Structure 1
């Protein structure tokens, strides 16, 4: 991807990087059926769907075992406050039901209070319960951490403990993905020298907004870096604008504020 890519090129790339998400509190089996159908578009599939653990088995039944659309689910979500043993149990059950990817909320409140060990022990235990080829994404809840140094330290710990991705947010708090947090996270990935992915989640609704994150990633980590194995968008509303752009229609999606 070049920084001069046109909107259609950005939209096509963003489609391939999208974790199409339904983590609404009132999600239903019918909504999961619709989500699985939406994930396979006329312009190609999204990277994954991201859903509550209770729907993983249903989604696997719909998508089958050979689908290009991966199934991601969330654990310790959204509070980050559950005991390690319970989160490990959630993880094991989700993988047994057919999940490909685990999005883990770190105990960010304990971390903000100074307890780094809580974060390390949580990630280490879930990583052990989530062996390759399953992916482990760690949700840092950067809008709650706020401080750049604290965000950087959370990234460093997650990377040291074997996370495959670092993810901004649950989408359940006031401040979710921001370019400021993304800058810190991508720079920390570069400094680690490891192949770790990045996932902005919550608030990315339009192709122009997606471009900002892709350009930032390309600037910090190289133009060929954003790909499904290293970059995902966690979004429920972005797909509509992607498809409008690819279809040559005018978007009805309002721009999100940063």
Structure 2
């Protein structure tokens, strides 16, 4: 259940709009993402070039493109992320761990792994901790591990909270809202629930909004929540990310003094 204080905060966040200063603040928090499944090598090269040009937090791609992307980003501050157990969220923990290990071997600094969604829906929250522990062991302690909870499917705030807490206890680094492959991606309501868990954890666990984050105004609403729940002074790429493909274009436009388009599409 969303309490009244959170409801009031969500109402205020819904009114937030982007300014050039906010857009400039958000750009370094972006995980520039390409997960359409139909990418070409030329498109991956262009993605990495854009990431370097604008100084985003990371590039997030399918594991098959890691050998190409790694040398393109080598020596920069832009991190390289790959997905695992994606997008289905299988309960095959061994497969997820193997995918994570292979991604790290191919140069991934970060792994975004999907939680076993159907198992959680059936009441098996414990499997979240099992997955995180197995993937952590396979990927190694230096790899940033983000767990995708697919909150649009989990839906219930108590269920999201239970799954998020299980992940935190197992040693996850980030809680992430969505794969972007289901009808309901990130929502401010789910984000607030997850940020509360991050707050409980003393912000040793970060938050990543993904799935339908398309415009600078969208980013403004999530940053408004982050500032209120986590503290503006504590938000950085180490604690707060946006996973998106089209968001960066809008942020760059607004940072330069333009208006948020409100019409972008993508992850």
What TM-score do you get using the length of structure 2 for normalisation?
A: 0.89
After the TM superposition, list the runs of 4 or more consecutive aligned residues in structure 1 that deviate by more than 6 angstroms.
3-6
Q: Does 1:36 align with 2:48?
A: yes
* CA 1:105–1:40: 2 relative to 1, 3 Å: same
Name the SS of the counterpart of 2:80 in structure 1.
strand
Structure 1: distance between partners of 2:95 and 2:264: 39
1:171 equivalenced with 2:180 (yes/no):
yes
1-structure distance, mates of 2:251, 2:18: 13
**Structure 1 portions without partners, runs of 5+:** none
Equivalent in the alignment of 2:73: 63
Matched, 1:206 2:215: yes
**2:27 and 2:251 in contact (8 A); partners too:** yes
- Kept in 1: contact 2:20–2:256 (CA 8 A): no
* Aligned residues: CA RMSD: 1.8
SS at match of 1:232: strand
Give me the whole-angstrom Cα distance separating, in 2, the residues matched to 1:33 and 1:45: 15
CA contact (8 A) 2:84 2:99 kept: yes
1:110-130, Cα deviation, whole Å (9 max, x unpaired): 111011232221111001112
TM alignment of 1:72-221, pairs within 5 A: 72-81=81-90, 83-221=92-230
Separation in structure 1 between the aligned mates of residue 62 and residue 17 of structure 2, nearest angstrom: 35
Q: Which has the higher helix share?
A: 2
The answer to whether the 8 A contact 1:108-1:119 is kept is no
Summarize deviations over 1:76-121 as a string: whole Å, max 9, x none.
0000115222211111111011100000101011111011232221
Between 123-132 and 234-243, report the one with greater CA deviation: 123-132
- 1:20 corresponds to: 32
CA contact under 8 A between 2:132 and 2:170: conserved in structure 1? yes
How does the TM-score come out when normalised to structure 1?
Answer: 0.92
Deviation track 1:211-252 (CA, whole Å, cap 9, x = no partner) reads 110110110111212200000000001011111112223443
Helix, strand or coil for the counterpart of 1:102?
Answer: strand
**2:7 aligns to what?**
none
> Shift of the alpha carbon at 1:27?
1.3
